[in-house]
Amino acid sequence: MPNVEPKLSIGLWCTAFAGTEVFGSATRPPLDPMDNLRLIARAGAWGFNFHDDDLVPFGSDVQETDRVLQETRRVMDGEGLVASMATTNMFAHPAFKDGALTSADARVRAYARQKAMRAADMGAELGCSVFVMWGGREGLEVEASRDPREALAWYRDGVEFVARYLADSGYGMQIAIEPKPSEPRGDIFLPTAGSVLGFIATLDPAVRDRVGVNPEVQHARMVNLNFVHEVAQCLDAGKLPHIDLGAQKPGRFDQDLRFGAEDIKETFFLVKLLDDAHWDGPHAFDVKPYRSDTPDDLEDLVRGNIRSYRLLLERVDEFRADAEIQELLAECRVDAAGVPDDVDALRAFAFDVDELAARRLPYQRLDQAVVELLMGVRR
Ligand code: DIG
Ligand code: MN
Ligand code: MN
């Protein structure tokens, strides 16, 4: 049995993705948000995530916004679906063409704050626990355009503003900043989980505890980072309020593939890490249908993520119960028996470095056992 029953959610923007990209127009018709909610629920998700504009049409007035939120609440209640994460789209509108919170135009920075406030209001209204901030446009192509220190200061002002707004409004939402190295901007500020952790450390102490990281599988694998280690560092820092899950071939553009579709071994160790850590945050799939998918394939996309996550949790159970694997893991460890830890005795201690160097490690057998487990031949 897993330590934690995972809360599996997916973004409205995922199933609603119509296939438009730089080299091609849409291959699927628009998906009504209420139909989208019903599809996600039918496919077995616990919850959903949304950008303001995914749910409430851009430019809606207060009355229309309230109407949509009330209709959403009715559908949520009818489907037993939780609103898990809210975020704001600060990357699609042309006003954000040169950044949002880090734009060199102070009016755009202020507009981004206003849009974030409104999105946070929507999230609070629907009961969301996390507010993600993905700075897709917070970057540049022309290095001469701004001093990166100034951009980071603007970014900090914006995040602190939103954090204060959540606190002053009595909203319990945690902020999760989502790293990504590039795309759509040539270089995006805060490219990795480590960058975000370092940035959080510079925030006003009055709001710092409310801010964490939303690492995404794809964004780390795009640049050949070990995502399991990215997540481990966030857990170690107590800064993992949310996670974006999917799959990705290394070194390519952000593919947002179905969870488990690539690199099954590292994906297995991600699922194992989260369960070993008893992490009970929202497990959010941030994936896209293939451009070649039809509307009839959208439910398969959602179901595939969920099924693969649960199957990998079963493999984690098997890993923990596998006697040979556990014996090999025990062989990997040597305790420091007999080695002093006080300064003077340690300084004088005579290590047999040749013996240390000669120690046999069981890694060939251990990794082979993991591969066989994932191939389903160790049951
Ligand atoms: C892309 O990975 C980003 C956007 O989809 C969204 O703002 C965020 C939500 O987790 N992820
Ligand atoms: Mn992505
Ligand atoms: Mn994401």
**% of the chain residues with pLDDT over 70:** 100
Confidence of residue 337 (pLDDT cuts 50, 70, 90): confident
Q: CATH code at 217?
A: 3.20.20.150
Residue 5 DSSP SS3: coil
For the four alpha carbons of 83, 87, 88 and 90, in that order, the dihedral sign comes to negative
End-to-end CA distance of the chain: give it in Å, rounded. Answer: 16
Q: List the one residue out of 155, 130, 110 whose CA is nearest residue 50.
A: 130
pLDDT at 315: 98
Length of the chain: 379
- 52, 53, 54, 256: the catalytic one is 54
Ligand 1 atom closest to residue 13's alpha carbon, by position in its atom list: 5
Q: Is residue 363, in this structure, part of any structural domain at all? A: yes
Q: Is 209 a catalytic residue?
A: no
Of 10, 3, 1, 12, the closest CA to residue 306 belongs to 10
- The DSSP secondary-structure symbol of 101 reads T
Closest ligand to 254 CA? 2
pLDDT digit string (tens) for 19-70? Answer: 999 999 999 999 999 999 999 999 999 999 999 999 999 999 999 999 999 9
Residue 346 lies inside a defined structural domain of this protein: yes
Whether residues 352 and 290 share a domain: the answer is: no
Distance CA 161, CA 116 (A): 10
- Distance between CA atoms of residues 358 and 373, nearest Å: 29
Best residue among 89, 132, 288 to mutate for probing ligand 1's pocket (most ligand atoms within 8 Å of CB) is: 132
> Whose alpha carbon is nearest atom 8 of ligand 1?
134
Q: Are 229 and 194 in contact (CB under 8 A)?
A: no
Domain-located, residue 19: yes
The pLDDT tens digits of the residues spanning 68-90 come to 999 999 999 999 999 999 999 99
Q: Tell how far the Cα of 183 is from the centroid of ligand 1, in angstroms.
A: 12
- Based on the domain organization, do 340 and 239 belong to the same domain? no
Confidence of residue 227 (pLDDT cuts 50, 70, 90): very high
Residue 379 binned pLDDT confidence (cut-offs 50, 70, 90): confident
**Residue 364: inside a domain, yes or no?**
yes
Both 141 and 158 in a single domain? yes
What is the rounded distance in angstroms from the CA atom of residue 119 to the CA atom of residue 37? 18
Taking the CA of residue 91 as reference, the ligand 1 atom at the shortest distance is 7
Whether 137 maps to a domain, the answer reads yes
Same domain flag for 71 and 218: yes
Domain end, chosen from 313, 333, 361, is at 313
If pLDDT is split at 50, 70 and 90, which confidence band does 8 have?
Answer: very high
Cα 279 to Cα 6, 106, 241, 274, 331: the distances in Å are 9, 39, 9, 5, 27
Residue 106 lies in a domain: yes
Q: Ligand 1 pocket test: which of 93, 216, 240 has the largest number of ligand atoms within 8 Å of its C-beta?
A: 216
Is there a single domain that holds both residue 272 and residue 350? no
Q: How far is the CA of 257 from the centre of ligand 1 (A)?
A: 14
Q: Which residues line ligand 1 (CB under 6 A)?
A: 13, 51, 87, 132, 134, 178, 214, 216, 244, 286
The closest residue, in CA terms, to atom 11 on ligand 1 is 134
| Alpha carbons within 13 A on the beta-carbon side of 56 | 29
The total domain count for the chain is 2
pLDDT in tens, 98-137: 999 999 999 999 999 999 999 999 999 999 999 999 999 9
Decide if 280 is catalytic.
no
Ligand nearest to the CA of 17: 1
Distance from Cα 287 to the centre of ligand 1, integer Å: 9
Inter-CA distances, 360 with 8, 37, 332, Å: 41, 54, 9
pLDDT at 205: 98
Question: Are the beta carbons of 47 and 312 closer than 8 angstroms?
Answer: no
pLDDT at 146: 96
Ligand 1, atom 7: nearest CA belongs to which residue? 134
Mean pLDDT, rounded, of the chain: 98
340-374: string of b/e by CB count within 10 Å (b at 16+)?
eeeeeeeeeeeeeeeeeeeeeeeeeebeebbeebb
Does the global pTM surpass 0.85?
yes
Q: Which of 131, 173, 178, 218 to mutate to test the pocket of ligand 1 (most atoms within 8 A of CB)?
A: 178
Q: How far is the CA of 11 from the centre of ligand 3 (A)?
A: 9
Is residue 184 reached through a cis peptide bond, with omega within 30 degrees of 0 on the bond before it? yes
Average pLDDT over residues 309-332: 98
Within a 10 A sphere around the Cβ of 318, how many other Cβ atoms?
A: 14
Q: What is the mean pLDDT of residues 167-173?
A: 98
* Residue nearest atom 6 in ligand 1 by C-alpha distance: 134
How many angstroms does the Cα of residue 216 sit away from the middle of ligand 3?
6
Tell me the per-residue pLDDT of 175-194, one tens digit each, with 9 for 90 and over: 999 999 999 999 999 999 99
Q: Tell me: the pLDDT tens digits for 263-306?
A: 999 999 999 999 999 999 999 999 999 999 999 999 999 999 99
- The pLDDT score that the predictor gives to residue 241 is 99
Q: Name, in order, each residue with C-beta under 8 angstroms of 34's C-beta and a sequence gap of 6 or more.
A: 71, 72, 75
Which ligand sits closest to the CA of 136? Answer: 1
Judge whether 1 lies within some domain. Answer: no
Cα 244 to averaged position of ligand 3 atoms, centre (Å): 5
- Looking at the fold, whether 250 and 335 belong to one and the same domain comes out as no
Domain check: are 197 and 304 in the same one? yes
Q: Which domain holds residue 214?
A: 7-313
* 345 shares a domain with 264: no
